[in-house]
Structure 1
């Protein structure tokens, strides 16, 4: 689990070939050393947002793992014959938390609105007795000063945490992880809105809708004014771009006229 993980390309981003259980096992294996790493979790809107930003797209090549937060991104891998399943931030953090009761991993929560990180830590302590919290804090909604940033890194470094859950909006959290992982001995995992889902600040779609790949419809119905462009314009554009990429790949692999075995 320490070597480079297998990936498949989706719009120039190397998505890791993994199931959610394998992702949790990999994170647990990384907790056994003091090497800083970071994990990105990508859904369709975030892929579309970074598609035209080469700097943000390129930071993904430094990530130790990039899991598919969208069932549609996982489906692309499945259609290529790969053993991939949706590995979302809310589900991954819950599974790792549950498993950590047996392996003793400790957790640091960084992000969310004021008090949310602390509330999330308390929720997991109640949900999984014996759950270990190394720290929880919410950064201010402004750029940190150099001194403040250094203090955050020192608190995380000295906390004894095995894993750091980062709940900041994307791509801000991805840039933060890329800029800091080399200075920390933990695995950083950007889970975005998972803090809000688990604390109930934002309602998540029912399980049956998630299993039917309809979570987008639930979110659109709840926040149409904010999300209509994301799901009614960006999502169809994503399908078109993926289909075009697949066509180009198939054409590139097709035998050229005159090619023959000799």
Structure 2
């Protein structure tokens, strides 16, 4: 890996199958540095999202424009390693929790959007116990009537939060964030199923599955309906191998 700068946003933009991803020594420091620079969108990239971005030009454009693209999945880390770029896997759920903790310690205004009404209610209760100093100024579930979204979005814009975590699923959350954060400060990040895990209604895969790169199998056993989504994993691996190293 080429030498990087030593600033708080120490990162270098790389590519996996033409989809951008950032190599950072410390993703949390990079995200906090981004907030200090006025904010931006954070995307957490895995193999599934990479392949979706190649088919979905709207998602691809969002990722390309994002201020920070984190190597969330083991497949992305592996593809980068084939280019001689050594990075650690940085799970989005861990980065998001680190940012929540930092927000609580530094008085950031925080907004949460997405998941089911039950998950959001339980999550808010848990956060009040786990992070009592957190300034949670906005918390809305994602199962809103279409007519409710314009007012919800207007309230969120007026709040101008420091940190917005969005759990609407890929690619909707990424595309919605890009539209919403136009000319607004703060960090905006899609977090997928993180709210479900933080609420306690779902369990995160054990650490050993991550070390063995079997986290996908644990999720599949928890939710067999996901099996079609995982068909993309061998397609991703084959595309990287066929391309030599996955570089642009």
TM-score range for the pair, normalised by the shorter chain length: 0.7 to 0.9
Partner of 1:175: 175
CA distance in 1, matches of 2:52, 2:109: 33
Q: Is the 8 A contact 2:160 2:185 kept in 1?
A: no
The answer to whether residue 135 in structure 2 is matched with residue 129 in structure 1 is no
In structure 2, distance between residues paired with 1:91 and 1:103:
18
Q: How does 1:158-169 map to 2 (within 5 A)?
A: 158-159=158-159, 161-169=161-169
Deviation at 1:116, TM superposition (A): 2.4
Residues 238 and 152 of structure 1, relative CA distance in 2, 3 Å threshold: same
Helix, strand or coil for the counterpart of 2:133?
Answer: coil
Say if 1:12 and 1:57, in contact at 8 Å, map to a contact too.
no
List per-residue Cα deviations over 1:33-77 (Å, max 9, x = no partner).
5x4521111222222223222232122111111112212212322
Deviation sequence 1:155-203 (CA, Å, 0-9, x none): 2233352110011111011110121111422221011111111112222
CA RMSD across the alignment: 2.6
Deviation at 1:30, TM superposition (A): 3.2
What's the counterpart of residue 4 of structure 2? none
The TM-score with structure 2 as length reference comes to 0.85
- 8 Å CA contact 2:107, 2:135 repeated in 1: yes
1:71 aligns with 2:74: yes
Report the count of equivalent residues. 242
TM-score (norm 1): 0.81
Match of residue 111 from structure 2: 108
Runs of 5+ in structure 1 lacking a partner? 253-262
- Report the Cα distance in structure 2 between the residues aligned to 1:17 and 1:122, rounded to whole angstroms: 35
Partner of 1:12: 18
The answer to whether the 8 Å contact 2:58/2:175 transfers is: no
Please state if 1:140 is matched with 2:140.
Answer: no
Displacement of 1:98: 2.5
Distance in 2 (CA, whole Å) between partners of 1:23 and 1:172 is: 23
Per-residue CA shift, 1:113-164, capped at 9, x if unaligned?
A: 114234323323322332221211113355x34xx44422332233352110
Larger Cα-atom Rg: 1
Which residue is equivalent to 2:50? 47
Once the two structures are TM-superposed, the CA of residue 210 in structure 1 deviates from its matched residue by 1.7
Say if 2:114 and 2:120, in contact at 8 Å, map to a contact too: yes
Give the whole-Å Cα distance in 2 for the aligned partners of 1:121 and 1:72: 33
- How far residue 208 of structure 1 moved from its aligned partner, in angstroms, is 1.6
Structure 2's unaligned 5+ residue stretches are 1-6
CA contact (8 A) 2:9 2:34 kept: no
2:239 aligned partner? 241
